[in-house]
């Protein structure tokens, strides 16, 4: 029994040593190996990785797409409206070595950068643009983040603005503004219709003035429309020209 007890600590030490030497990386993992403090050009994995104890140290990096909620940010729009905006970003590590060497904590750094970029980009736009041109703003934020995180080996694939919350007092003001805009458009449409109608009437009057036959036909059409209603009393108007012709015929 004493002999077995002697070997137990040795066996445990070997197991601990083996676990520190042999590492298994999953398909979506990569290992950044430091040899005496220096890092190789390429990350290891996936699969089996054997490390030299004490001399080599490895840090795992998840290569899958990561989803991060950007906390709600207070933003003042270009037209001085205070809004609360939050968003979600999708990004992944494309270079495991740079994500470890170039930045202390790429997740925290990307989160902080997303917050400042969100405030900076939205602050350059009016409230109407925030509400109506969300796709364009998403793309602008994504491109800026992607450019700045490239040095860290990070690829920002998508940014989505989730909510743009406006103060209730501003919502009422926006509703009044929208109502005034609808009334303005209605008046413009009515004015355009009147202008087009006046133009057409002017053209018709010009044609009738230069074509007596057309005037007579229009006169007969008007009489026909009036005669269709039997309750109307019809008075046939005659022009002075027609009266003069009639008098001249009688004198002959």
State phi, psi for 15 to the nearest 5 degrees: -65, -45
Is the pLDDT at 240 greater than 70, yes or no? no
Q: What is the pLDDT of residue 69?
A: 93
Is the pLDDT at 9 greater than 60, yes or no? yes
> Domain spans of the chain?
2-61, 66-171, 194-251
**Span 171-214, pLDDT tens digits:** 666 667 777 877 888 888 888 888 888 888 777 777 766 766 66
- Mean pLDDT score of the chain: 82
- pTM value surpassing 0.85: no
Q: What is the pLDDT of residue 6?
A: 65
Segment (H or E) for 172: helix 168-210
What are the structure tokens assigned to 129, written together? 């643009």
CB 56 within 8 A of CB 35: yes
The answer to whether the bond into 46 is cis (omega within 30° of 0) is yes
**Span 45-77, pLDDT tens digits:** 899 999 988 899 999 999 999 999 999 999 988
Beta-carbon neighbour count of residue 66 at 10 Å?
15
Is the pLDDT at 221 greater than 80, yes or no? no
Give the domain 66-171 fold: Tetrahydropterin Synthase; Chain A (3.30.479)
**Span 142-174, pLDDT tens digits:** 999 999 999 999 999 999 999 888 877 666 666
The answer to whether the bond into 150 is cis (omega within 30° of 0) is no
DSSP 217: H
Least Cα distance to 148 among 113, 97, 188 occurs for 113
């Amino acid at each position: 029994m004493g002999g077995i007890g002697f070997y137990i600590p040795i066996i445990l030490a070997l197991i601990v040593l083996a676990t520190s030497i042999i590492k298994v990386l999953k398909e979506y993992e990569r290992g950044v190996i430091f040899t005496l403090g220096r890092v190789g050009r390429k990350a290891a994995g996936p699969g089996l990785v054997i490390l030299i104890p004490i001399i080599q140290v490895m840090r795992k990096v998840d290569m899958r797409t990561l989803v991060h909620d950007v906390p709600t940010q207070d933003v003042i729009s270009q037209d001085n409206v205070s809004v609360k905006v939050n968003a979600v970003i999708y990004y992944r590590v494309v270079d495991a070595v740079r994500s470890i060497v170039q930045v202390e904590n790429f997740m925290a750094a990307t989160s902080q950068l997303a917050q400042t970029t969100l405030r900076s980009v939205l602050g350059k736009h009016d409230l109407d643009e925030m509400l109506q041109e969300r796709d364009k703003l998403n793309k602008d934020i994504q491109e800026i983040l992607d450019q700045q995180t490239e040095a860290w080996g990070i690829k920002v694939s998508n940014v989505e603005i989730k909510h743009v919350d406006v103060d209730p007092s501003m919502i009422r003001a926006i509703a009044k503004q929208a109502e005034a805009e609808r009334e303005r458009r209605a008046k413009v449409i009515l004015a355009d219709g009147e202008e087009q109608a006046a133009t057409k009437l002017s053209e018709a009057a010009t044609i009738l003035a230069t074509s007596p036959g057309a005037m007579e036909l229009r006169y007969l059409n008007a009489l026909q429309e009036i005669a269709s209603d039997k309750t109307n009393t019809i008075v046939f108007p005659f022009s002075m020209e027609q009266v003069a012709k009639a008098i001249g015929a009688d004198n002959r």
